[in-house]
Copies of this chain bind each other. A is one copy, B any other.
Amino acid sequence: MQDLSQTEENYLKAIFKISEGTPTPASTNAISAEVSTSAASVTDMVIRLSKKELVDYKKRKGVRLTSKGLQIATHLIRKHRLWEVFLVEKLSFSWDEVHDIAEQLEHIKSPDLVERLDTYLGHPRFDPHGDPIPDADGKFAFRKQVLLAELTRGEQGIVVGVQDHSTAFLQYLDQLQLILGAQIELLERFVYDESVKIMLNNSREMILSKKVCQNLFIQKQPSLK
């Protein structure tokens, strides 16, 4: 029940991220890639986490979070995303600058702090990248969304999130004015390179590459025409 080190917390988050969605356990190599350490270090840490009953681990069988581990990981994500909202909404950072700072802030230990921050921010349900913020019980909001790549000609929607969180992509989107909340209509999809022509905010046409389409989440709107 003692406090975890930042390192231990980061491992739990990494394992969560890797096994999100899939029921298969996280492999040593996957974790080592995620936390940027050697596979040997991962084995070491994973054994320690399993002694603390935060993960289930059997030699060469990969790792799974226990419910205790899952709870801690979810709470870390809650803190991370709330801090990101704070940085963008209150300190006017842009969405490509906040991740690294939130990586540090998420480790601050205080029972009250998160909840007060949440209240102060007005209980936001999504972070600046459109990712859902789990509530105090660890429940994630669900939103029906599709990749822009899955939209068919004539369909409309709102930009609600990104798949790729890289600075390069986020800054590129800023330049294109493809920020969260932007309104999009798919005018045409070109078979040649799978690029698309869209209408942005009912006012401007623009061509987007396949790569962009595969990394932008859209919430569909009923076509009004």
Q: Which A residues are closer than 8 A to B by beta carbons?
A: 87, 90-93, 97, 100-101, 104-105, 108-110, 112-113, 116-117, 120
Instruction: Return chain B residues, CB-CB under 8 Å to A104.
Output: 108-110
How far is B93's CA from A117's CA once the two chains are assembled, in angstroms? Answer: 11
How far is B100's CA from A109's CA once the two chains are assembled, in angstroms? Answer: 9
Instruction: Return chain B residues, CB-CB under 8 Å to A97.
Output: 112
Given contacts A91-B116, A105-B105, 18 further A-B contacts (CB under 8 A): A87-B113, A90-B90, A90-B120, A91-B113, A91-B117, A91-B120, A92-B116, A93-B112, A93-B116, A97-B112, A100-B110, A101-B108, A101-B110, A101-B113, A104-B108, A104-B109, A104-B110, A105-B108
Instruction: Return chain B residues, CB-CB under 8 Å to A101.
Output: 108, 110, 113
Instruction: Return chain B residues, CB-CB under 8 Å to A92.
Output: 116
How far is B114's CA from A211's CA once the two chains are assembled, in angstroms? Answer: 36
How far is B93's CA from A104's CA once the two chains are assembled, in angstroms? Answer: 21
How far is B93's CA from A116's CA once the two chains are assembled, in angstroms? Answer: 9
How far is B112's CA from A92's CA once the two chains are assembled, in angstroms? Answer: 11
Nearest B-chain residue to A119, judged by Cβ: B91
How far is B109's CA from A109's CA once the two chains are assembled, in angstroms? Answer: 17
Whole-angstrom distance from the CB of A42 to the nearest CB of chain B?
23
How far is B88's CA from A116's CA once the two chains are assembled, in angstroms? Answer: 11
Whole-angstrom distance from the CB of A22 to the nearest CB of chain B?
33
How far is B202's CA from A202's CA once the two chains are assembled, in angstroms? Answer: 64
Instruction: Return chain B residues, CB-CB under 8 Å to A109.
Output: 104
20 contacts between A and B (CB under 8 A): A87-B113, A90-B90, A90-B120, A91-B113, A91-B116, A91-B117, A91-B120, A92-B116, A93-B112, A93-B116, A97-B112, A100-B110, A101-B108, A101-B110, A101-B113, A104-B108, A104-B109, A104-B110, A105-B105, A105-B108
